Structure 1
């Protein structure tokens, strides 16, 4: 939980909670994310402090699958650098990122799933279903080609005549004439 979450659980605005209870809370409840700008506290300990109960002990072996990990923590778990975690997320190699409090977090279960899956960076199954890049390219059909095909069936037409008639270059006229002959089968 962040201090914002703790203030909301206490039923107070954040600035009021910080002014009245923040210093006492920080002195009694240890931060579980030392060295980061955003102070994060264990949910069980924070709720116990709000209720006035004894704080439950933190255990390292009590890792919950929904724990949110920073890029550094996810990198430590995967054995890679934090910048590589961010690169994996941007390429879709590591899914499940959550935006919270202006930062990106990864649930422990998503990072564990990536670790169990092994190295699949060079396996490219193609684009995912629903991706707009999956569509076949639209067939290019120039509307002038059927007209030119009709003209070639009626009489011999030259590229110069097509260039003059459609106001195109000589090369474009040759291309149109070749496509029309291919379409008409001559």
Structure 2
């Protein structure tokens, strides 16, 4: 989660603010930084740090404590995993909901997709409304093939999402996503996961 009103930074952001290449920053400062700073999103692949703490560290000032979490705010940003937990489903279903309009598309930030807490709560409060005209088209029932995003558009969205994952992993020096992970994420075959990974790598090369 990214708490409302509390900007966060990735290690790539921190290196850029320090005026260093990411690998140089990690070599010179990474160990000390991680020993003194805590991530704001424990357990997530993408490590996020409180921007106020980071800037105090970078300028040699005392690092302030993290503010109390307080009450949940409607504009807190929830990760895909947190949305899945709130809706009682899995991450691949959340992505499917977003691509078909059952759930708002969310916000792209730090190479990830996030949803305001209020959007998720509205989805919960509305119950199962997938047959409503404003979401699926007049007269269409849940499961109607016309409710699904066109295959090409869905595949392209996945390719772009995986490409963003690859770019972030490379920037932060983390292990890259694998075809097996993609197969689990999107509930597809291992072969389809391999095709997605290859297409995402090609997408990165074309847009580098």
Aligned CA-pair RMSD: 2.9
User: Aligned residues, how many?
Assistant: 129
1:75 paired to 2:84: yes
Q: Separation in 2 of the partners of 1:48 and 1:62?
A: 25
- Counterpart position of 2:131: 122
Pairwise CA distance, 1:101: 4.6
Larger Rg: 1
| Stretch deviating more after TM superposition (87-96 or 105-114) | 105-114
Is it true that 1:28 corresponds to 2:28 in the alignment? Answer: no
1:113 CA drift (Å): 4.0
Alignment deviations for residues 125-176 of structure 1 (CA, whole Å, 9 cap, x no partner): 3659xxxx9xxxxxxxxxxxxxxxxxxxxxxxxxxxxxxxxxxxxxxxxxxx
Give yes or no for contact 1:66–1:108 (8 Å, CA) kept in 2: yes
Q: Does 1:106 align with 2:106?
A: no
Q: Is the 8 A contact 2:77 2:117 kept in 1?
A: yes
- Superposition deviation, residue 6 in structure 1: 1.5
Distance 1:65 1:21 in 2: 36
- Aligned partner of 2:19 in structure 1 is 11
Q: Tell me which residue corresponds to 2:106.
A: 97
Encode CA deviations 1:80-109: one digit per residue, 9 max, x unaligned.
332321121111122242334543333444
The TM-score normalised by the length of structure 2 is 0.50
1:64–1:45 CA distance, 2 compared to 1 (3 A): farther
Q: Distance in 2 between matches of 1:28 and 1:101?
A: 22
Q: Which residue of 2 aligns with 1:49?
A: 57
Deviating runs (4+, > 4 A) in structure 1?
Answer: 62-67
Question: What does residue 86 of structure 1 align with?
Answer: 95
Q: 1:91 to 1:28 in 2, by over 3 A?
A: same
